[in-house]
Amino acid sequence: MLGLMAMFLQAAPGSADPPPLATGRSAPCPTDANGDIVVCGRQGRDESYRLRPLPERYVEDRQFRLKLPGGSTISPHADQGRLGEVQAKVTLKIPF
């Protein structure tokens, strides 16, 4: 019965190629109604799980910066020390 169905599927009008076999390989790129080849690309196996950076409109700079004369900036921040204590720090950036 299964062989008979496969024979009818191969002889169906409008299908230029036989259906892909379940051999573990992916199906070839599809063609459109005019027979033109459609260019298709495949991602790597792990690419679909990779995190991508946010677009620029969603990234905001939340760090406080105070602009000083001459193009310098000063910004306070807190870091974790060796023993787990919080250290208050100030960064001074001077362009040269």
The model's pLDDT over 41-82, given as tens digits with 9 standing for 90+, comes to 777 777 778 888 878 877 777 778 999 999 999 999 888 988
Q: pTM for this structure?
A: 0.35
Q: Which residues pair with 86 in a beta bridge?
A: 80
**92 band by pLDDT with thresholds 50, 70 and 90:** very high
Handedness of CA 9, 11, 16, 17 (dihedral sign): positive
Asked if 26 and 40 count as a contact pair (C-beta separation under 8 A), the reply is: no
Asked if 20 and 28 count as a contact pair (C-beta separation under 8 A), the reply is: yes
Scanning the structure block, which residue is given the tokens 């000063």? Answer: 74
